[in-house]
DNA sequence: GTTGAAAGACACCATCC
DNA sequence: GGATGGTGTCTTTCAAC
């Protein structure tokens, strides 16, 4: 991870669709050289994938909630399994702190949010924070 | 946002580097047609950008923390401004709940994390949760 | 890691459905 | 709103250095 690799990552973060030639131009490297570096970054798992950034609100999910979940009755595995069945979860972290997990999910309506939280209750008690806005990206 | 657009988003989420021809093949549309749809999705702001998914731990930041910040002395703007100066923040949400903001940041060492939290104290009181792991993606 | 050449793929446009 | 076909450009890929 030298300075050139950092530049490569910076450029791909801004636009992952540029060609290897264009990327080479931007970081002052030949196409085969930059291609090989990207391949290695993928191989090392530093670059996990090429993807898109989505605006979840504009996709018809105006409600976003961050939920802290504290597991009940030792039902860790049930909780994890339940979590996997949802497609409206943006991330879920196992954390050290007051709660056991912290997750973010999105909903079309408050009714959907209520249903979601209710469904978690057998496994965890929850504390829900609704998202007003995101402070501009970094 | 019909079923085809959802397929387009799904494919680009998996690999944002495929050509418009390949994307067209996957969603059963001609290259110009799929190209136009992607253009519109960008224009509408549903697709915010083409980017990469990074493994922050493998980039030399083994420590990740989720920090809840409750603003002190009405210093909202100072806090927001301070936040913008950091490059180690993954996201920051303005939320409804016990705290005012919830942010995630990454660090090389615990000393860095301590310094970071200390620097926020003039503006907010904080509650820090360290991240053990991420529950597999969705 | 660079260069150069060949083959191929892609984007783009106009046209038509 | 989508399909087709032709053109020019750019990229990729490989070899040799």
pLDDT digits (tens, 9 = 90+) for A27-61: 999 999 999 999 999 999 999 999 999 999 999 99
Chain C: nucleotides under 7 Å from a protein CB? 1-4, 9-14
- Are the beta carbons of B96 and A15 separated by less than 8 Å? no
Q: Give the mean model confidence (pLDDT) for residues B44-68.
A: 96
Q: What is the mean pLDDT of each run of 10 residues along chain A (138 residues)?
A: 95 96 96 96 96 96 98 94 95 96 98 98 97 86
Q: Give the mean model confidence (pLDDT) for residues B63-83.
A: 95
Confidence of residue B69 (pLDDT cuts 50, 70, 90): very high
The token duo for A33 is 């050289």
- Residue A136: its pLDDT value, please? 78
- Residue A138: its pLDDT value, please? 60
Q: Percent of chain A at pLDDT above 90?
A: 96
Q: Give the mean model confidence (pLDDT) for residues B4-25.
A: 96
The rounded distance, in Å, linking the Cα atoms of B113 and B117 is 6
B2 pLDDT more than 70: yes
- Residue B1: its pLDDT value, please? 86
Where would I find the H helices in chain B? 3-14, 20-27, 31-43, 76-84, 110-120
CA dihedral B1, B53, A12, B110 (to 10 degrees): 140
Q: Does B102 reach chain A within 8 Å, measured CB to CB?
A: yes
Spacing of B39 CA from C16 C1' in Å? 23
- Domains of chain A plus CATH, in order, are 3-43 (1.10.10.10), 63-130 (3.30.70.920)
The rounded distance, in Å, linking the Cα atoms of B101 and A76 is 27
B40 pLDDT more than 70: yes
- Residue B138: its pLDDT value, please? 60
Nearest to B132 among A54, A91, A94 (CB): A94
- Give the Å distances, CA to CA, from B84 to B90, B119, B127: 11, 13, 20
- Residue A81: its pLDDT value, please? 92
Q: Is A69 helix (H, G, I), strand (E, B) or coil?
A: strand
């Amino acid at each position: 991870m030298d300075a050139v690799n950092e530049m490569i990552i910076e450029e791909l973060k801004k636009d992952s669709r540029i060609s290897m030639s264009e990327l080479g131009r931007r970081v002052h490297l030949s196409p085969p050289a930059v291609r090989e570096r990207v391949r290695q970054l993928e191989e090392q798992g530093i670059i996990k994938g090429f993807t898109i950034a989505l605006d979840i609100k504009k996709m018809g999910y105006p409600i976003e909630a961050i939920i802290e979940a504290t597991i009940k009755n030792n039902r860790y595995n049930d909780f994890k399994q339940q979590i996997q069945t949802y497609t409206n979860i943006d991330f879920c972290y196992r954390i050290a702190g007051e709660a056991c997990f912290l997750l973010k999910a999105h909903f079309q309506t408050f009714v959907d949010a209520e249903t979601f939280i209710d469904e978690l209750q057998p496994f965890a008690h929850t504390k829900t924070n609704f998202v007003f806005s995101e402070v501009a990206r970094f």
